[in-house]
Structure 1
Amino acid sequence: MPTKESRELYLLERFLPELFSDTYILSQPAPPLPDAIVQVSGKKIGIEMTALILDEQSREREAKQDAILNEAQKLFEKQLHLPLHVTVDFSESGNWKNLERKQVAGLLADVVKRCVLAVKDLPESQTEFTIRTEAFVHPCIHSVSIFFLSRLTVPCWTPITTFWVPDAPLEKIQEIINRKSKNVNGYLTGCDEVWLLMLETGSPSSYYDHFEKLQEVAFDSGFARTLIGRISKGELVTLQTKRAL
């Protein structure tokens, strides 16, 4: 599964219990339908997801980090089949231009494998475990965190970097809503209503502060509900909206 889709599904699974109290069935339809459809209480609710990414310079660096994580995940899963959430704290000042991507991916996969093998068969680790290690000798990586929870089925390997946190930009969020709203009619061909979930993943180009300011405005939106999922806080922010003209 491509990294983008696997991360979105992982994050969606984290938020579904907060969105739906009843038993639900989750599926991934093909375009032009939304990214996911949740069947709940006899109703089909489409959920279109997109990353809340606005910093293009950071995004270029993250693309290289994503490539490392994607390769490391493949190497790990060839040997062990566990749906892990692996968070790698990358160094912002690393030499990303001349980085040997496959070498770093191999080192990372080996570190995760050794950490997991040390705990996975322990009785207290059968349903959940958390590991953090800073014993990783590479100038581009500060630390590695590993989380396993048996009820989560989709693996997620995520980069993070130390960075300055700006305020959530109202106009940029509206631009994302406008772009996604153009596809609402296509989404509705396979569901009763469709929601937009923008994912603040915690990476440098997708991490903002003062989300309370978003409650002071009403965004134009073609979606039945427009939300921001904050993985860093484990919370959902429901935006006030008015119907887009």
Structure 2
Amino acid sequence: MDRETKKILEYEFGLAFLESLGDYDLENIKHDDNPDFIVKTEKHIGIELTQIYNTIQSKYPRIYLEGSWDSLMDASKRIWENNNLPNAHVSINFNQYSPIRKSKIEEKAMELVDLVKNHIPPIGESWSSNNNPNLVLINGISGFNIERICDYNHSIWTYYDHIWSPTLKSSIVQKTINKKEFHRKSYLNSCDLIWLVMIIHGGRASGNFIVPKDTIECEYNFKFDRVFLFNTLPRTIHELNGKARQK
């Protein structure tokens, strides 16, 4: 994910959080960097956002996998179109546990296009590797589908993975809080109160967690005035408990 995309998502998450909280006039909100949002009330409230990403069994943050898969899909779509192949919706199923190196993206994309193009169905039909158990697939891919149910005017390449969603442990939450504590004091130059909002965004697998009750009810150590866990898709907000500490 590039920096510009990250800033756009951050802005959308911040607005969604404040709208879900429901107590603030959005006209009195300023999008900033230090912290990410400032809400102008009798006391200016600074809101720092941070997204929690999960880590898969190989110890790679899942977002690294998604970044390499995004690049592979972009390269595959470009090669597909440059070769004037029929418009189709192509979905790839990944089963790898390490990111694809940047230097290998183009090579992998050409290999993937060569595999997929041999199974293009006619308009009005679809094709799935699930129905062809003897098909030899390339490394890191467990299957793919090609869909041409109608006469599309452009091609779409997307992907899925079958890696489980981990449990969000209280230790991960505390570690995330600790990383942000370092900056908290500097934010007081521009606001009176500082809130921390930790984002869980299940829109992508890298941000998807199972959140148990004991993680929400745990008592955490922090100096922020308030700390929240915000799940973006159901728009649920949990304010976390904190031990009293000198600020």
Same fold per superposition (TM over 0.5): yes
Point out the structure with max Rg over C-alpha. Answer: 2
Question: What CA distance in whole angstroms lies between the structure 2 residues aligned with 1:199 and 1:47?
Answer: 12
Question: What CA distance in whole angstroms lies between the structure 2 residues aligned with 1:9 and 1:239?
Answer: 22
Match of 1:28 in 2: 31
Once the two structures are TM-superposed, the CA of residue 7 in structure 1 deviates from its matched residue by: 0.8
Match of 1:235 in 2: 236
Question: What CA distance in whole angstroms lies between the structure 1 residues aligned with 2:166 and 2:11?
Answer: 26
Matched, 1:4 2:6: yes
Question: What CA distance in whole angstroms lies between the structure 1 residues aligned with 2:239 and 2:143?
Answer: 34
Match of 2:66 in 1: 62
Contact 1:54 1:172 in 2 (8 A): no
Match of 2:176 in 1: 176
Question: How do residues 1-245 of structure 1 correspond to structure 2 at under 5 angstroms?
Answer: 2-24=4-26, 25-30=28-33, 33-39=34-40, 41-55=41-55, 56-57=59-60, 58-65=62-69, 91-93=93-95, 97=100, 98-100=104-106, 161-202=161-202, 203-244=204-245
Once the two structures are TM-superposed, the CA of residue 213 in structure 1 deviates from its matched residue by: 1.6
Question: What CA distance in whole angstroms lies between the structure 2 residues aligned with 1:194 and 1:68?
Answer: 40
Question: Which letter does structure 1 place at the counterpart of 2:29?
Answer: L
Work out the percentage of aligned pairs sharing the same amino acid: 23
Alignment CA distance shift 1:168-1:49 (3 Å): same
Once the two structures are TM-superposed, the CA of residue 218 in structure 1 deviates from its matched residue by: 0.6
Once the two structures are TM-superposed, the CA of residue 229 in structure 1 deviates from its matched residue by: 1.3
Q: Provide Cα deviations, 1:10-69, integer angstroms capped at 9, x if missing partner.
A: 111112112242423222234xx2111122x33321111111024152232122246579
Alignment CA distance shift 1:195-1:6 (3 Å): same
Alignment CA distance shift 1:161-1:183 (3 Å): same
Question: What CA distance in whole angstroms lies between the structure 2 residues aligned with 1:199 and 1:212?
Answer: 17
Question: What CA distance in whole angstroms lies between the structure 2 residues aligned with 1:19 and 1:160?
Answer: 33
Structure 2 unaligned regions, length at least 5: 76-90, 111-125, 128-140, 146-158
Question: What CA distance in whole angstroms lies between the structure 2 residues aligned with 1:100 and 1:11?
Answer: 33
Contact 1:15 1:229 in 2 (8 A): yes
User: Secondary structure, in 3 states, of the residue corresponding to 1:196?
Assistant: strand
Question: Which letter does structure 2 place at the counterpart of 1:236?
Answer: I
User: Secondary structure, in 3 states, of the residue corresponding to 2:44?
Assistant: strand
Contact 1:49 1:197 in 2 (8 A): yes
User: Secondary structure, in 3 states, of the residue corresponding to 1:183?
Assistant: helix
Q: Provide Cα deviations, 1:92-134, integer angstroms capped at 9, x if missing partner.
A: 3379634449x89xxxxxxxxxxxxxxxxxxxxxxxxxxxxx9
Match of 2:153 in 1: none
Contact 1:54 1:205 in 2 (8 A): yes
Once the two structures are TM-superposed, the CA of residue 189 in structure 1 deviates from its matched residue by: 0.8
Structure 1 unaligned regions, length at least 5: 73-88, 105-133, 144-158
Question: What CA distance in whole angstroms lies between the structure 1 residues aligned with 2:32 and 2:143?
Answer: 36
